[in-house]
Each structure stands twice: as C-alpha cells, then as structure tokens.
C-alpha cells in the first residue's frame, strides 16, 4: 500500500502527470482515502530503536492479536509500567479494514497460511488433502482478517470452566469483562444494560438494517422451528438472529483499531512489528522467566522482562513458542534436542469448530461485474459507505441442538452466505481455501447464473481433539497441525443430524419454495455411488468438504495444578514457572459454543486484570 508520507505521495502522483489532470486528481483523492482508511499514521510506530537503546521492560506481550492488543493496552494503563508488544506482522491494510472482502485476506501476507497435516477421513476434497487454517499475521491478528462476528458463546461454557476447577471463570464472573471492552451500538431494550456495555474500546454494531436476503433467511429459519431472537449475547443463546459485528463507521473494528490506535502515542507502550519471538529466556539454572529472544530484520535481540512475559500468540503460535523454549512433552522435545524446562502437555487438547457447507441456488438475472465492483470501491474509498462497509447479507446465524430441542446450549451453529451470480470472479471462496479443481469448477458452474446460498453446518462441541507439534526446532518453520477431524464418529453424526434437522427442512420451507430456492450439490465424483441425502452420501460429502471455522483453541489448557492435562492455572500462569502467563484462546479447557473472537477479548480483559491484581496486591515493587 502507499505510505501516507506527503513527499512519497507527491512523487507517486507526479509520475502520472502525463495521464492528464483528471486522472491525477482522482489518484490524489484515492491516495488520501487510502491513507485515511489504513495509513501508517493510524498505528503505533515501530519501536526498534527504543528496544535496541534500552531492552528492559516491565512486561513483554508476545503477539498483538485479538488478545495481545488488549493486554498491552490494559497493562500500559499503569503509567510506571513499561510495556513492549511484539507482533510478527505489520500494520493492517486497506484489504483487512474493508469489511465485505474479509475472505480475500486468506493467503495474503496478513495470513500465516497454515494448513493441517493430511489425515484419513477429512479435508479430502483439498488439493493437498489439508484444510486451510487462516490466522492473522498483522496488528489485530485474527480480529483483522476474520468475519467480524461478535458472539459471546454460551453461559454453560463458562460455568463448566469454573466447575472444572477454575475459580473466577463462571459466566456471572466473566460477564463484566465482556461488558468492559464493549461499546454497544445496537438494539436497546429493558435488559440491554444487564448484558451490554457502553464506552468500551470495542465497537459492537447491531442496527436495524436487515438486508432483504437476511429477512428471507430469518423467515425461512423460523419455519424450521428455530425461534428468531434479537440478541444471542445474553444468558440465553439459542435461536436465530442477525449477528452483531465488530464494525465502526464502515471500517473493521479489530483489536488493533479498537485498542491500539487510540493509544498509539502512549509513552510507556512500545510496539515492535515484523519481529518474531523465537525463544523465552530464563534466569540461569531456574524456571524464572527473564525475557525473550526476538528476531527483527535478521538480527537477534535479547529483551528483558522485569516482571512478566505474556504469551498471546494464539492456539498455534503460542504452543510453538513454548515448545521451542523447552516447555512441553518431554519425549517430543527430546526429538529436537531441546532442553526440557518442564514436562507439560503443551500443544495437546487442540479443538476447532469444523463446518460442512451445503448449497442452495436461485436463478438470478443480476450478475456481479467489474463496473459494479468499481462503483462500490469508489463509494467505499470516498465515504466508507455502501456494500463494502458491512458484512451483509452474510450476518444471519443460528444455534441449534440436534439431540434436544429444549436444550439451553447448542451443539450446532449455522452460518449462511449469499453469493450473487458470478461473484466467484471476485471472491473465489473455494479456490482461496485450496479446494481441488473439481470442486472449484463445479461450484463456479453453480454460481454462473444463480444466486448461491451456502449454509454451514458448524460443529460446536467436538469430541475429536488434535494437537500441535514441532516440525523442527527452526522457529521460522510452521509447526505440524493435527486437526483429527471426525476421528470420533459422534462428531460426524452431529453434522449429519444438523443437515437432516435443519438444512433439509430449510429446503422444504414455504419461503424457499415460493421464491424458487432449491438445494443443489457439488456433485463429487467420489460420492456419486451413494444416493443423495442418504447417511452414506452425507458422510462421504462431509469427509470431503470439511472446512475450519478458524477457531483453534485449547493447546495450553487452563485448570487446577493437580490436573496433569493442564498447562496454566486459573490465573493463566504457566505451571512450574515464575513470571510467565498465556492469555489467548490456548487456555480454553473446552472450546466455547460459538465464534471465539469475543471470548478471546474477554480472556484478555480478565487476564490483564489478573496481572494487575497480582502485582498490586502481592508485590511491593511497582
């Protein structure tokens, strides 16, 4: 992207003078709009010079993603605490900040580009037999590339965490931390103040702006027996709704924009970007953390932490860093000649929400073309308005339990995407994820002259668990991700029941039949021998068309010290170590029943508060 430096901008514009004054004026306008949207001046400056001059900090936060940006903000609220935040990526871009095109961030420099290890029985329709696991590599992390859904998950999730030996993590105890970060601009009723906060850093948008397709979907979903509700971010989650989104004034409200941009000039917060932390360091002969080793521009730098190192690198990078530092399964570390500091189950307990997409089509004469896209881009760049400024019409979600219609917690979540005819030319959904040529060609054919509705059946409570392990002791080499999807057959059964009890019923709804929406299939050669909608066909289809909902969790499990399956305690301190915590999705004992970004922000708010309470209440040197 263009830097928002006046001299550079002038040089760029002058190089096009021969194109004529109208073109130059247009270019100037677009450069100014781009700078206003995602210019370097919006974000904290890179602190390399400061780190080199004085590599001593009170707190080092590793990872500036959904959790790390929040933790760094809250810790630096204490004026005499010097805080360093380290991010492997750089600043957000125009592409990350534009809500509607979030899928196009897959495979960019802002995505780590992870893929799962090939396995039997899942991800079989991918070119490499590996599911794509997009992870944010930029300020804001995954909150800068995700779908912007603000979903807090289920009350039961947090009560179960507490019941497993984690005091302070019940729903009633974490609710204030959800509310603390929130600036809610949504529907107001008599109970709003009980569940939503105003004045927090994070804008949560839920306005009465239903798209026609969102209305259609909610009406059809209501016919299937799922009730339509205004707000699922209360103590009762079940039902269908138009989801709240983390958007403000037509721009993605990532944790970078919400928690870092407003404090970019805070003197006691330094941010080191495009830098990879390669190792956690310890005082000689002890398990007391002293700092970190970070590589920036090919140079290794030792940075000292006077108080704590907080690892907020996410459920893949956090276990990788811990393992490289000698914290993890003894036998695994020995394979790479890594000195074992503590034998802990780091990287185990990996959980993710998989989903399987099912398709509906509606003949459409209106097609997406270059002129339409160009006009939308112009409107957005100049005014931050129009279709690119929101995620509509993709905001409808619903929560459902296939085993008990009266249950208070779901086991399935449905998402619904709407693709206008020929949208694949501009958002190559299946290509971006790495599906094979057969799937891409057949999906494009379905979308050529038809509106496609893609309904996800998302598995919320997987019994199958995977693991993260090192591929080598090179920190620049991606770790191995064993997703282990469908290794427990109950997970497959839940997806099949989700199809039968909702997707199939949706196809029979009066709304769909009246309009002419019909279910269609990507007719996979591998599944043609089975009758459509039979259990055998649905199993074959699900094992081929497996997707990640991008919610990896659990790889540094929280729990009581007596539980050998845990890595951190209820205050997020790594067992057997001093001055080391993990604050991100890794600590989830069990993955929550819903999108994970809002819960991770809550974990960060609570984690930062735990640190403050620990140092103010038990330490004399502040």
Structural domain of 1: 1-19+28-36
Residue 311, both tokens: 């690892």
Averages of pLDDT over runs of 10 residues in the chain (622 residues) are 47 54 61 86 97 98 98 98 98 97 96 98 97 98 98 98 98 98 86 91 92 97 96 94 97 98 98 98 97 98 98 98 98 97 98 98 89 92 95 97 96 97 95 98 97 98 98 98 98 98 97 97 97 96 98 98 97 98 98 98 98 85 41
Coil, helix or strand at residue 601: helix
DSSP-assigned letters across all residues of 37-59: HH-GGGSPPB-HHHHHH--EEEE
- What's the rounded Cα separation, in Å, for the pair 254 and 99? 10
Q: What does the alpha-carbon distance between residue 344 and residue 128 come to, in Å, rounded to a whole number?
A: 32
- Neighbouring CB atoms inside 10 A of 385's CB total 13
**Model pLDDT, residue 103:** 95
Whether 15 maps to a domain, the answer reads yes
Q: Please provide the DSSP assignment of 299-336 as one string.
A: EEEEEEEEEEEEE-SHHHHHHHHHHHTTBS-HHHHHHT
- Residue 45 CA to residue 121 CA, distance in Å, equals 46
Question: Minimal CA–CA distance to 177: which of 474, 459, 572?
Answer: 572
Q: How far are the Cα atoms of 20, 318, 325, 340, 345 from residue 331, in angstroms, in the given order?
A: 68, 19, 14, 9, 11
In a domain, 597, yes or no: no
Region for 221 from its dihedrals, namely left if φ exceeds 0, alpha if ψ lies in -120 to 50, beta otherwise: alpha
User: 7 lies in a domain?
Assistant: yes
Q: Which residue has the tokens 């993890």?
A: 328
Catalytic residues: 551
Rounded Cα distance between 214 and 207, Å, is 13
578 bridge partner residues: 288
* Neighbouring residues of 341: CB distance < 8 A, sequence distance ≥ 6: 282, 287, 325, 326, 327, 577
Q: Total structural domains in the chain? A: 1
Residue 408 lies in a domain: no
Asked whether residue 4 is assigned to any structural domain, the reply reads yes
Has residue 14 been placed in a domain? yes
- Measure the CA–CA gap between 48 and 303, rounded to whole angstroms: 11
**Does any domain span residue 6?**
yes
pLDDT score at 4: 61
Q: Per the domain annotation, does 537 fall within a domain?
A: no
Which of 465, 450, 397, 393 lies closest to 420, judged by CA?
A: 450
Contacts 24+ apart (CB under 8 A), 560-568: 560/164, 560/165, 560/166, 562/165, 563/164, 563/165, 564/345, 565/345, 565/348, 565/349, 566/345, 567/322, 567/344, 567/345, 567/346
- For 478-496, b/e burial (b = at least 16 CB within 10 A) is bbebbbbbbbeeebbbbbb
Tell me: cis bond preceding 615? Omega within 30 of 0 counts. Answer: no
Instruction: Compute how many other C-beta atoms are within 10 angstroms of the C-beta atom of residue 28.
Output: 15
- Which pTM was predicted? 0.95
pLDDT tens-digit series, residues 429-447 = 999 999 999 999 999 999 9
Least Cα distance to 150 among 178, 192, 176, 191 occurs for: 178
Expressed in percent and rounded to 5, the helix, strand and coil fractions of the chain are 35, 20, 40
């Amino acid at each position: 992207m263009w830097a928002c430096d006046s001299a550079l901008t002038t040089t760029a514009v002058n190089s096009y003078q021969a194109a004529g004054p109208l073109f130059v004026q247009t270019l100037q306008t677009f450069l100014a709009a781009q700078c206003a949207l995602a210019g370097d001046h919006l974000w904290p400056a890179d602190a390399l010079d400061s780190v080199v001059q004085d590599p001593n900090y009170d707190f080092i936060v590793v990872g500036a993603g959904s959790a790390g940006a929040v933790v760094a903000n809250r810790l630096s609220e204490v004026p005499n605490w010097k805080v360093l935040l380290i991010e492997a990526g750089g600043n957000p871009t125009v592409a990350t900040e534009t809500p509607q095109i979030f899928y196009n961030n897959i495979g960019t420099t802002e995505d780590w580009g992870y893929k799962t290890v090939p396995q039997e029985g899942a991800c079989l329709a991918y070119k490499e037999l590996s599911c794509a696991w997009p992870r944010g590599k930029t300020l804001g992390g995954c909150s800068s590339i995700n779908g912007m859904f603000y979903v807090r998950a289920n009350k039961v999730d947090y009560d179960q965490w507490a019941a497993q030996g984690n005091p302070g993590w019940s729903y009633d105890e974490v609710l204030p931390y959800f509310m603390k970060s929130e600036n809610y601009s949504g529907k107001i009723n008599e109970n709003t103040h009980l569940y939503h906060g105003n004045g927090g850093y994070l804008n949560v948008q839920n306005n009465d702006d239903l798209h026609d397709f969102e209305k259609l979907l909610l009406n059809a979903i209501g016919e299937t027996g799922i009730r339509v509700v205004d707000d699922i971010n209360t103590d009762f989650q079940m039902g269908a709704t138009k989801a709240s989104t983390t958007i403000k004034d037509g721009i993605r409200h990532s944790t970078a924009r919400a928690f870092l941009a407003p404090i970019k000039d805070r003197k006691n917060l330094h941010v080191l970007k495009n830098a990879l932390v390669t190792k956690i360091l310890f005082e000689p002969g002890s398990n007391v953390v002293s700092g970190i080793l970070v590589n920036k521009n090919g140079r290794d730098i030792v940075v000292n932490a006077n108080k704590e190192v907080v690892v907020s690198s996410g459920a893949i990078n956090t276990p990788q860093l811990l393992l490289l530092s000698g914290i993890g399964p003894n036998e695994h570390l020995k394979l790479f000649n890594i000195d074992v500091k503590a034998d802990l189950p780091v990287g185990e307990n990996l959980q993710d929400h998989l989903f399987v997409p099912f398709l509906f089509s509606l003949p459409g004469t209106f097609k997406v073309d270059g002129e339409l896209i160009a006009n939308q881009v112009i409107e957005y760049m100049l005014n931050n308005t129009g279709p690119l400024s929101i995620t509509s019409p993709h905001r409808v979600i619903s929560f459902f339990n296939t085993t008990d219609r009266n249950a208070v917690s779901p086991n399935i979540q449905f998402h619904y995407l709407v693709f206008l005819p020929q949208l694949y030319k501009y958002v190559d959904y299946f290509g971006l994820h790495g599906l094979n040529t057969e799937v891409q060609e057949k999906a494009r054919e379905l979308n050529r002259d038809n509106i496609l509705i893609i309904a996800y059946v998302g598995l919320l409570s997987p019994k199958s668990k995977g693991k993260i392990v090192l591929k080598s002791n090179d920190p620049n080499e991606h770790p191995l991700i064993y997703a282990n999807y469908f290794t427990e057959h109950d997970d497959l059964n839940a997806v099949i029941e989700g199809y039968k009890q909702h997707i199939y019923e949706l196809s029979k709804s009066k709304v769909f039949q009246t309009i002419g929406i019909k279910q269609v299939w990507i007719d996979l050669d591998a599944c043609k021998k089975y009758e459509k909608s039979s259990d055998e066909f649905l199993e074959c289809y699900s094992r081929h068309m497996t997707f990640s909902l991008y919610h990896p969790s659990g790889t540094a499990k929280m729990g009581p010290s007596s539980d050998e399956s845990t890595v951190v305690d209820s205050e997020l301190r790594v067992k057997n170590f001093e001055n080391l915590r993990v604050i991100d999705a890794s600590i989830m004992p069990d993955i929550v029943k819903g999108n994970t970004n809002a819960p991770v922000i809550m974990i960060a708010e609570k984690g930062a508060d735990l640190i403050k309470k620990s140092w103010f209440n038990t330490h004399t040197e502040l």
